[in-house]
């Protein structure tokens, strides 16, 4: 172990490590990724950003996420994993501030790509570091509280746009203010990073677990691709869809906040559901609920439909990610990280493709309804694939 690592100089309490990880997610996922969603209407109004360009920017962000996932999957040295995570915390602040420097689309693409890299460090490396530390301390190896950081990040960005737009009307000033707000989360995330884990052999976590068949893995990956498609459409365009309904103007940030509030306790709920009915049935239920949430805005432009869609989406997307990654991780106890990385690439591929398709469809038709119906169809195909899987690999 490196004695120069500041996180190793002092002992850390479990609440510090978990809270630091939560703050890291608010930075790397909340600000570096999700601030774009409630900021999108102002960007389009003040800079003339088109629907197609907006979708392309979201796709570039997820290209960065995939690149980060690839790096994380091949990075075996624990010291480098820790350094890469630490770098992601800094980069989350810098890329958020850099969005204010220019409205030149290529520069925005660069910052969104780097923001996607930050998301991978927080989601993949951060979760691994926190989980590993908890296991070494003899604590329960659960990440439900950790994943609350995603919902909290959504709430922070939604309420942040509401507050900052009252103080600064300029989109560039709001990006800078978000970067300043990020310092509040950067300090605990940096100070309470889990220390570099010792070089040690693999723990024998599940002796006798049958190997994953290729068919099982490919089926789950294709189903997870559908989940990624469903996730990114709502993650990118929720606020914009709401703001374009005349009766719902100015409600977009509040609806986005509702997504985050619904997401925060969702992981605990889905863990309980999975314990009762099994992982596959729980995932089918989550897919179905998210599909209903996706089609609600296509069926009605009412506030009730927007609120129902926000609740359904927020209550399912983190649960789907958590259940799927836990499922494949338990099936590959000798090296869960590589199995998770393969699924992350499938999920990320959908996150690149879907916003470009949806943005182009919206620009051509003047409405997001066609893209929402297409997304619902993709989710139903994912459910059909998932239904063919047994509970045991």
pLDDT of residue 351: 77
Please state, for a pLDDT cut of 70, what percent of the chain lies above it.
Answer: 86
pLDDT of residue 33: 85
**Contact (CB, 8 A) for 270 and 286:** yes
**pLDDT 10s digits, 125-165:** 887 788 777 777 777 656 667 888 888 888 898 888 888 88
Hey, what are 221's tokens? Answer: 């990956």
Is residue 226 scored above 90 in pLDDT? yes
- The answer to whether 143 touches 127, Cβ cutoff 8 Å, is yes
Q: What is the chain's mean pLDDT, rounded? A: 82
How many percent of the chain have pLDDT more than 90? 29
At residue 183, the pLDDT reads 95
Q: How confident is the model at residue 200 (pLDDT cuts 50, 70, 90)?
A: low
Q: Which long-range contacts (CB under 8 A, 24 or more apart) does 300-304 make?
A: 301/245, 301/247, 301/248, 302/247, 303/247, 303/248, 303/251
**Alpha-carbon span 92 to 243, nearest angstrom:** 27
Give 359's contacts (C-beta < 8 A, 6+ positions apart): 50, 51, 52, 53, 54, 55, 56, 58
Q: What is the dihedral of CA 79, 81, 87, 89, to 10 degrees?
A: -120
- Report pLDDT for 336: 57
pLDDT-wise least confident of 43-47, 166-170, 219-223, 273-277: 166-170
CA atoms in the 13 A half-sphere facing the CB of 61: 32
Q: Tell me which DSSP letter residue 335 carries.
A: -
Q: 0.85 cut: is pTM over it? A: no
- Provide DSSP, 201-251: PPP--STTPPPPPHHHHHHHHHHHHHHHHHHHHHHHHHHHHHHTSGGGTT-
In the DSSP assignment, the letter for residue 30 is I
Q: Which domains does the chain have, with CATH numbers?
A: 12-197 (1.20.1250.20), 208-388 (1.20.1250.20)
Does residue 73 carry a pLDDT above 90?
no
Interval 211-235 mean pLDDT: 86
**Residue 220: its pLDDT value, please?**
94
């Amino acid at each position: 172990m490196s004695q120069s690592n500041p996180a190793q100089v002092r002992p850390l309490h479990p609440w510090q490590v978990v809270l630091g990880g939560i703050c890291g997610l608010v930075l790397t996922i909340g600000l570096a990724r999700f601030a774009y969603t409630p900021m999108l209407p102002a960007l389009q109004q003040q800079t003339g950003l088109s629907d197609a360009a907006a979708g392309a920017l979201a796709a570039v962000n997820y290209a960065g996420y995939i690149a980060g996932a690839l790096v994380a999957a091949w990075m075996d040295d624990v010291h480098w994993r820790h350094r890469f995570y630490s770098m992601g915390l800094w980069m989350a602040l810098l890329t958020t501030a850099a969005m204010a420097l220019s409205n030149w689309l290529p520069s925005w693409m660069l910052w969104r790509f780097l923001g996607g890299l930050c998301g991978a460090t927080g989601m993949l490396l951060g979760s691994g570091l926190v989980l590993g530390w908890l296991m070494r301390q003899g604590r329960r190896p659960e990440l439900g509280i950790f994943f609350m950081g995603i919902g909290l990040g959504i709430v922070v960005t939604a309420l942040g746009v509401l507050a900052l737009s009252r103080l600064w009307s300029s989109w560039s000033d709001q990006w800078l203010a978000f970067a300043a707000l990020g310092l509040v989360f950067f300090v605990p995330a940096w100070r309470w990073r889990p220390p570099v884990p010792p070089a040690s052999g693999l723990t024998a976590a599940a002796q006798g677990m049958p190997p994953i068949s290729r068919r099982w893995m490919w089926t789950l990956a294709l189903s997870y691709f559908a989940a990624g498609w469903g996730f990114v459409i709502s993650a990118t365009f929720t606020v914009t869809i709401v703001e374009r309904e005349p009766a719902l103007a100015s409600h977009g940030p509040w609806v986005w906040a509702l997504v985050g509030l619904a997401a925060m306790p969702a992981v605990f709920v889905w863990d309980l559901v999975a314990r009762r009915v099994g992982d596959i049935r729980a995932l089918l239920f989550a897919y179905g609920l998210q599909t209903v949430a996706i089609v609600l805005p296509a069926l009605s432009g009412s506030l009730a439909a927007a609120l129902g869609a926000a609740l359904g989406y927020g209550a399912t997307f983190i649960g789907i990610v958590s259940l799927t990654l836990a499922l494949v991780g338990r099936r590959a106890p000798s090296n869960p990280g590589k199995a998770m990385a393969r699924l992350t690439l499938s999920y990320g591929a959908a996150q690149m493709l879907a916003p470009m398709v949806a943005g182009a469809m919206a620009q051509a038709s003047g409405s997001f309804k066609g893209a929402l119906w297409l997304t619902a169809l993709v989710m139903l195909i994912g459910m059909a694939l998932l239904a063919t899987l047994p509970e045991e690999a």
